[in-house]
Amino acid sequence: MDAAPAIALRHAIHGLVCDEDRPWAHGHAVRATDLPSYYTYNSVRVEDGAQGLDTAGLVAAADALQAGLAHRQVEVEDPAAGERLRQGFDELGWVAERLAWMALDGAPPGAGGDAVSAGVELGEVPFARTRPLREAWFGTSTLAGSPAARSHFLGVEERVASRRGTRALAAWDASGDPLGFVAFSVLGDAAEVEQVYVVPRRRGRGTGAALVRAAVAAAGARATWIVADDEGDAKRLYERLGFATAWIQHVFTRAPSG
């Protein structure tokens, strides 16, 4: 598949949220100056093959381009360059992510025949109402930080959701206990499923698939995108739903110390 639409969508999302876009020798450095703790909107993009760059050189560039920020984040768009640089970032102790941008044209195969289990309700809710589920999910992240930092981030995430026009669907059982949620947004003729989370006790029972199907239907876009850890379990679920990897993006992050 062609990676260009995924890269274009990534840049367009940055354009929605970020208020600074600074060119540099290998791409652009973007910032959302009012959201400095949200890594993905305060990032250095390497948009070429990173010719002549090694890990040390890229770290030095990030230090210069991200001066004043507590974190460092570098996104490498060329998969081969990302693979070449990954070991160096691993050795420095940065979080190295290999992300699969996956595309779905139209509706998931068999959409409409994948009913939510008996006793489970699914409906649209304000994004802010998903906070308890997002807090549980974010607490498992290697970048989670302290409880205070997590709480702050969740509030920032809600501000970004407002800026992006993010919508949410949630699932809950007959007693009203939340089972999971999906968040999605639409930009032009493309939609992105931004987040999918199901509580551990409910996994493997079709709740995640039902949420994703419902989000695709609610978005109503020509193409729907979702980003998954290329080495994680969720990718297999999305493949079963008809998503196919179009682009591998490498993201290297150094969280603030302490």
pLDDT cut 70: percent of the chain above it: 93
Q: What is the residue whose two structure tokens read 């970048």? A: 143
Q: Domains, the chain, ranges and CATH?
A: 4-101+250-254 (no CATH), 107-221 (3.40.630.30)
Least confident of 27-36, 158-167, 194-203: 194-203
17 close to 32: Cβ distance less than 8 angstroms: yes
Residue 144 pLDDT greater than 70, yes or no: no
Q: How high is the pLDDT of residue 74?
A: 98
Residue 152 pLDDT greater than 70, yes or no: yes
CA angle at residue 241 from 167 to 168, to 5 degrees?
Answer: 10
Distance CA 91, CA 173 (A): 45
CA 127, 173, 182, 191: dihedral to nearest 10 degrees? -100
- pLDDT tens digits, one per residue of 48-68: 999 999 999 999 999 999 999
Residue 70 pLDDT greater than 90, yes or no: yes
Question: Which residues are CB-contacts of 250 (< 8 A; sequence separation ≥ 6)?
Answer: 75, 76, 79, 81, 82, 83, 85, 86, 96, 97, 98, 99
Structure confidence at residue 1 as a pLDDT band (50, 70, 90)? confident
Question: Which residues are CB-contacts of 154 (< 8 A; sequence separation ≥ 6)?
Answer: 131, 134, 135, 138
Residue 113 pLDDT greater than 80, yes or no: no
Per the prediction, the chain carries an average pLDDT of 92
| Secondary structure element (H or E) that encloses residue 209, with its range | helix 207-219
Neighbours of 57 (CB within 10 A): 14
- pLDDT tens digits, one per residue of 206-229: 899 999 999 999 999 999 999 999
Q: How high is the pLDDT of residue 163?
A: 94
Q: Supply the pTM of this predicted model.
A: 0.90
Three-state secondary-structure class, residue 206: coil
